[in-house]
Amino acid sequence: MMLDRRRLLTSALTLGAMHAFPGLSLAQARPLVFATFTGSWEEAHKAVLVPAFRKANADAAIVLDPMLSVDQIAKVNAAKANPPIDVMLHDPGPALVAIGQDLVDPFPADKSAYYKDLIPEAQDAMGPAPFFQVVGLTYNPETVKTPPTSWADLWKPEFKGKVGITNLNSTLGTGWLVEIARMRGGSEANVDEGFKALEELKPNLAAVAANPGALATLFQQGQIDISPGNFNAIQILKARGVPVEFVAPKEGAIAFKTTIHIVKNSPNKELAFKLIEAALSPEVQTTLMNSPYLIVPTNTKVAMTGEIAKVLAKDTEELKKKFVFQDWKKINEQRASWIEKFNRDIKI
């Protein structure tokens, strides 16, 4: 059986820890496992968050395990008593699922040096939010000469065979479906008009990506010219020289918080807490706010500057006024059936 590099690294670190501390069980000895997202999130956390955590914690062993939120929840659910993940990262919908399924512990806010400095919307007893995400329109300025201004522009005839979207397993895909449904009179409770719009979009579709990271790769490969997209994912592509731009549609870009959680029954709870502390710190949030990551901070000690202040909002109050915040409790009531319908009907 072949083992991938991550599994080999995990095994090596585990064996090293057990050698150093013979009294530890296998579960106790393994490194801290942090399930981040794929693509730009993995890159940002590998470059900034993980080094900050190691520096503050005597070079403690940590493994990044990038995957979608739905896969994080499935892995933890499959081994609740001995979870293979210590820290999960979730968008609003999956966070509600993980909490509802009793997969996470309350965050010990009374021990935290930074929790009190978060904006009120980021202070969540079951897992604070170190970041905001923003979804708008992304396009290749070399091939799309007139910047788009509306979600409706994706249906224009000149974009036949040039549009990319993601499936509904991602928050990007589901959140965007709700907004195109809303554009035609629907809502979080009714996305029928959104599915009708997707049927009409099929002639323009070049690809349905498995996740936001794969969608960004399609831009890099020149396979798509326009799509709904995450602001921060696009910024990393721009830093690499990929011709791509972001614009908030006139209907309002989608904004949502990303929360970070200590997994219930984790053998590494103290280190999990310390990783989250690093994510909440002004130093890490300031670095991640700057180029090329441009992740929107939630710590009030971090002033929004640079490209985020120029393109998105000068502070969180303006962000909350300008952008659309969706009701993920309502979305979750029907999301599974939407995913099933999308996977069955939306193919190219």
Question: pLDDT of the chain along its 348 residues, tens only?
Answer: 333 444 444 444 444 444 443 444 444 468 999 999 988 889 999 999 999 999 999 999 999 999 988 899 999 999 999 999 999 999 999 999 999 999 999 999 999 999 999 999 999 999 999 999 999 999 999 999 999 999 999 999 999 999 999 999 889 999 999 999 999 999 999 999 999 999 999 999 999 999 888 898 899 999 999 999 999 888 888 888 999 999 999 999 999 999 999 999 999 999 999 999 999 999 999 999 998 888 999 999 999 999 899 989 999 889 888 899 999 999 999 999 999 999 999 987
Joined together, the tokens standing for residue 279 give 């994510």
Please state, in angstroms and rounded to a whole number, the distance separating the CA atoms of residues 300 and 165: 34
Joined together, the tokens standing for residue 278 give 């690093």
Q: What pLDDT was estimated at residue 27?
A: 45
Q: What pLDDT was estimated at residue 29?
A: 66
Q: What is the pTM of this model?
A: 0.82
The SS3 call for residue 103 is coil
Q: What pLDDT was estimated at residue 233?
A: 83
Joined together, the tokens standing for residue 5 give 């590099």
Q: Where are the beta strands (DSSP E) in 160-241?
A: 163-166, 205-209, 226-230
Please state, in angstroms and rounded to a whole number, the distance separating the CA atoms of residues 26 and 15: 8
